[in-house]
Structure 1
């Protein structure tokens, strides 16, 4: 392609070393010169910040100056594409994406309406169910008294706005539910069966373009550690309904489902961003990173990639040393 050099900024970069590598490899396949930037609260302690071309510190994403700091950096460093990596920064960036675009930076995030839905699990289940997506029974609660009398036990409880498996508990009965919580909680029907992550790409017109599911063979800290890509027509159908339920979704999203032994596939989570398991979809040929870079150069020109079933990922720990 040999277009102008591009600059990509990864926010809340943390340990997303492999995601940066996916973009670098995508740029090489397209013949692009790519400059990678990364930020975090403490970039000196972020492995992803160490592998990026440039890194800098930012305030917490709930700080009122967060988007202003990012926008200033994007303007000064001519950033073409901003890639958020955690859920809590999605909404402020969704609200500010037009300001970034006016400055020449495309923020990879859906619109505020979609982010409002996916950031609250009970709302997510309600919207998906209304569009024919199978979901587990879910209820908001402040105390055990709010749980319906006909509820099935044991059940899962978790924060309504949680992520990375934070705060998840399995409780056997209402008496086992703590007396109080520091944040809104939900109880959710406990599903049993194989778990899948489904990476999808939705174009700027809201049309679902690609669906790459993988079975989660092993999970650590909420992210897939071992997985294998699979093709399933029923998952493709669920993905199409899910995409139609999100009013202004765009770009890369992933969702999780469990193929319950009694109830079949049920969606229980959506992340409106690159997920930790994207590496497997990329390796299999989904190449969503490549598509985003390509759109910056030739928005109307893209050849759909073909991805492979049966590609297996075995993640491991690696180290970066600072001398």
Structure 2
């Protein structure tokens, strides 16, 4: 049954004003009466919460009460689509998908098995390598200490369960590596070359419909500040390999590649959610937000791969004022 009005909930909304704007523009194109709700740990200090139609305070996403708080909002406001935006909330929401379905809401999240792989960088590397997806050589801490010559120094280190550029480091020799870490780490060959984010959309039947690479010309706080779309068949082929390696992937995802001049493109990260650079893909014609609304509303899908090459994004600071 098609819908003409619906509510969606943007979780951990933070600064995701661009994402909210993309959903509003999509709703206008579809002639939908859309209500956008947003929630955050501190909604009074969230720009996205300020521009949403209503905002809610919820516990931190690793709090056992988090999912219950999201379910309360869904139940009270008849939410049809829940959109998580940060990695740590993906697993608790994926574990509760059936509970949300019983409330009539779709959670924009892939299968739990996909989230468990994507949230563990060591598993991601192993799964991708086994599927023929190009990744840098990757060792865990035990493997590195057992054979420091297995990688080419300097080595790149990052938490296996990290996100948002937390805990990244480069070590030039084995004596530089700390004696212990506070969390599991992985170590990889250090890559050089331009870095790309590839946004991809997999429809609800599991078909990869769109692949949009953009070069990351400038990065601030781990998020692309300046970028330009580039149509590259080699990066599209990698996206196809990822979709095959993760058959439970659904909706929007993005992965990062370093195009090393010696080794070629290598996948270094995947996020099974909307990435911070999604507004660039949306502006280029890859309107993932619209395609999700079409699925939720049982409307004919307009998903396609006919986006514009060479679209340049130059982000700047903008303020939201209240009071």
Q: TM-score range by the shorter chain?
A: over 0.9
Q: Evaluate the alpha carbon distance shift between residue 306 and residue 150 of structure 1 in structure 2; reply closer, same or farther with a 3 A threshold.
A: closer
Query: How well do the aligned residues superpose, as a CA RMSD in angstroms?
Result: 1.5
Task: Flag structure 2 segments of 5+ consecutive residues without an equivalent.
Answer: none
CA offset at residue 142 of structure 1?
Answer: 5.5
Q: Evaluate the alpha carbon distance shift between residue 3 and residue 247 of structure 1 in structure 2; reply closer, same or farther with a 3 A threshold.
A: closer
Q: Is the 8 A contact 1:15 1:47 kept in 2?
A: yes
Give, in whole Å, the separation in 1 of the partners of 2:163 and 2:249: 19
CA offset at residue 277 of structure 1?
Answer: 0.5
TM-score by length of 2: 0.96
| SS of structure 2 residue aligned to 1:193 | coil
Residue 42 (structure 2) pairs with residue 42 (structure 1): yes
| SS of structure 1 residue aligned to 2:157 | strand
- Runs of 4+ aligned residues of structure 1 deviating over 6 Å after TM superposition are none
- 2:197 aligns to what? 197
Cα distance per residue 1:106-165 (max 9 Å; x no partner):
100001000000001010010001111000011111696245333211111111011111
TM-score by length of 1: 0.96
Deviates more, 1:276-285 or 1:302-311: 302-311
Give, in whole Å, the separation in 2 of the partners of 1:309 and 1:134: 24
- 1:140 aligns to what? 140
- 1:296 aligns to what? 296
CA offset at residue 298 of structure 1?
Answer: 2.1
Q: Is the 8 A contact 1:143 1:177 kept in 2?
A: no
| SS of structure 2 residue aligned to 1:216 | strand
- 1:220 aligns to what? 220
Give, in whole Å, the separation in 1 of the partners of 2:143 and 2:210: 41
Give, in whole Å, the separation in 2 of the partners of 1:192 and 1:85: 28
- 2:62 aligns to what? 62
CA offset at residue 321 of structure 1?
Answer: 2.1
- 1:287 aligns to what? 287
Cα distance per residue 1:41-73 (max 9 Å; x no partner):
111011111000000111111111111111111
- 2:16 aligns to what? 16
Task: Flag structure 1 segments of 5+ consecutive residues without an equivalent.
Answer: none
Give, in whole Å, the separation in 2 of the partners of 1:102 and 1:135: 39
- 1:253 aligns to what? 253
- 1:110 aligns to what? 110
| SS of structure 2 residue aligned to 1:227 | strand
Aligned residues: 322
